[in-house]
Each structure stands twice: as structure tokens, then as C-alpha cells.
Structure 1
Amino acid sequence: MSRLIVCLTGMPGAGKSTVASYLKEKAFSVITMGDAVREEARGRGLEPTDANLGSMMIKLRQELGQSAVAHLILKKLERDSNTNNLVIDGIRSIPEIEVLKTVGTVKLLAIHASQDTRFKYLVNRGRSDAPASSGEFAGRDKRELSVGISEAIALADETISNNEITIDQLKERAWAIVNGWLEEAK
């Protein structure tokens, strides 16, 4: 059986990180696309603000194409000889999926949540790149849409709606889907 790579996509604050953390408890290794961008920004001496990270993501894609961040992930996988099943949190484009298919069986899970729900989650999360206002939040959504995330969401193998459900329900729904994929892969 080849390694199962569960790719999570969805707009900022939809619940991808919650699902990724839960799958980590289920013995999946987790790589966050945003962390790869943060690492690259750090290497270039940039502060990890939303504006800087957003520009870095766009710049990487301009320099290296739509699959740029997936190539950063592949380098990380080559350094780490771990062959566990894997979660990649934060897929933004179909070309990223194509790159990841070279190292395992890829399934794409979209997490969807309304703008109001996502804004609340992002503010409550308290990361350095949290939106300071609804205008900043709308700009971030626009940036994400500009790099092709809507296509990734539309073409997902499965989608979970994270509106008006509990965190436990989100985790249970995600695990039911992923566990089905694990059974298929046997």
C-alpha cells in the first residue's frame, strides 16, 4: 500500500488545522503549507505578518509556478525519511495536488464554513497573522481565491460543512471520511 496523503483545503479559518491536529492524534504526520511559507519567509528575513506571508506565497508562485509550495513540502519529505500516512494542511491549488501524487495516494478533503464562522475562528485562534478587521479578512479571502483555492475546493474528493457543528462533530466527520480512505487503500 502506498502512503495515504490527505490534503486539506478550505478558506482561512474553516477548520483545516482542527482536522489536521485530530488526524495527528490518529498517527498521521502533519505538514502545514503555511508553515512552509513561514519558514521560507524567515529564511528571507521577513516578519510573519499576514501581509508578508501573503506576499511570500504569491511571490513563490510567481517565481516557481502554482505548485511552488508543494515543492517546498517535497524537499521537507525528502529530508524526513518518515513514511507514515500524511496530512497536508492548506492546499491551495490543483497543481500542488499533482506534485504530491508523485509520492503517495492523494485524497483531497475540503472544509467549508461561512464567512462569519471563519472570521470568529481566526480572531479567536490568536496567531500572528490573524485578521485585525473584517476588511483585512476580506482581502485575505481575495488573495486565497486569486491563487486557485476555489478550484481545489470544487474538485475535492469529499467536503465537510463546518457551520453550526461542534469541534467534536467536525473531527468525527473528518475521521469517518479518512478512515474510509484508509480502508480503500488496503
Structure 2
Amino acid sequence: MPNKRLIVCLTGMPGAGKSTVASYLKEKGFSVITMGDAVREEAQRQRLDPTDANLGNMMLKLREELGPGAVAYLILKKLERDSNTNNLVIDGIRSIPEVEVLKKIGDVRLLAIHASQDTRFRHLTQRGRSDAPTNQDEFAGRDKRELSVGISEAIALADETLSNNEISVEELKEKAHAIVNGWLAEANNTK
């Protein structure tokens, strides 16, 4: 039986630091797929502007039509097209059903990145994406939507949790890399 690849799934509320960790792991040789990009690609395919409201509605619509693991199914289709066999980082897991879908193709480990509301709001407004909240009300609405699709369960059931409060970007990267290296060592010992 062929060895299954390691799939590091990153979860956490918007702006917690998932993309920073994903980018760093990409530098370390992982392939990276972002759940939000899969939703943005679907929105583009349907000719919708990539606003927070449109992307949020798209995510909810996909889950209504295909179930709570819907976005993970989009990821599986993408992986089939790319025939990628590298160890993988999935940035933006929002539910346990998404994790279950991904377990079909690899050894899945879930890493939750946590940050306070103030830290997350600052991160989101500084990164300058089209779906960034313009005020606290939009930010609160986005959090509420994320919680409605099961992200709190994914965070609670994570294999490891990493706090991104009052640490530098470098410390966040180093701590995440240490956790993932531990998982890689475990995977190599069980093969």
C-alpha cells in the first residue's frame, strides 16, 4: 500500500494567522491550497464580485447544495486535476466534515491558530484583500458566519493549537514549523 501524504489542515477564525503559517510551510516544501481561493474561484466562475458578502454567501450556498464538506470536495477535484502527491497544507478548514473528506487522500492533522479579536481585525485590515472588513460590524458578521458553519468545532477538536497573540511573525512561523516537523517525524516512524 502506498504511503499516504501528510495533510496539515489549518483552522482558526479570520485573521488569526493561518495564511502566514501556510506561506511559511510552502517555503519548507509543502504544497498549499487555500479553501478561500477555492470559493473565490467558484465565485469568479459564476461571475460574482469577490466581496466578503458574495464569498460568504457562496460558501453557504455550496454547503447547502453539497453538504458541510462541500469546499473540501472542490479541493479534491483540484488535486485530481493537478495530480499532486506532495505533503500538503490546506489553509482555511471550517468544519470537521471537511477534515473527514480530506482523510480519504492522506494522513490529516488539524492545527488551530488562535488570536484575539483585536489582533485578528488588525491583521484583516492590514492585508488589504478585497474581502477585508471595513468596520467592526462587518468583522462581527464575518465571525458569526464562520461560527455558523462549524469552525468552533474544528478549532476545539484540533490536534494542536497555537496562540498568535503577542508573538512575532517569526515566532509564529517557528512554532508552527516545529509542530509540523513533529507530525512528519511521527508519519515517517509509522511507515
TM-score (ref. length: structure 2): 0.97
Q: In 2, distance between residues paired with 1:151 and 1:89?
A: 16
Equivalent in the alignment of 2:139: 137
1:15 to 14, 17, 23: 17
Equivalent in the alignment of 1:181: 183
Q: In 2, distance between residues paired with 1:132 and 1:124?
A: 11
Question: What is the aligned residue count?
Answer: 186
Equivalent in the alignment of 1:32: 34
Matched position secondary structure for 1:31: strand
1:49 to 48, 51, 54: 51
Backbone CA RMSD of aligned residues: 0.4
Q: Is 1:105 the counterpart of 2:113 in the alignment?
A: no
Matched position secondary structure for 1:164: coil
Percent identity between matched residues is 81
1:80-121 C-alpha deviation (Å, 9 max, x unpaired): 112000000000000000000000000000000000000000
TM-score (ref. length: structure 1): 0.99
Equivalent in the alignment of 2:160: 158
Q: Which runs of 5+ in 1 are unaligned?
A: none
Q: Which runs of 5+ in 2 are unaligned?
A: none
Runs of 4+ in 1 over 4 A off after TM superposition: none
Q: In 2, distance between residues paired with 1:80 and 1:98?
A: 21
Equivalent in the alignment of 1:87: 89
Q: Residue type of the partner of 2:26?
A: K
Matched position secondary structure for 1:102: coil
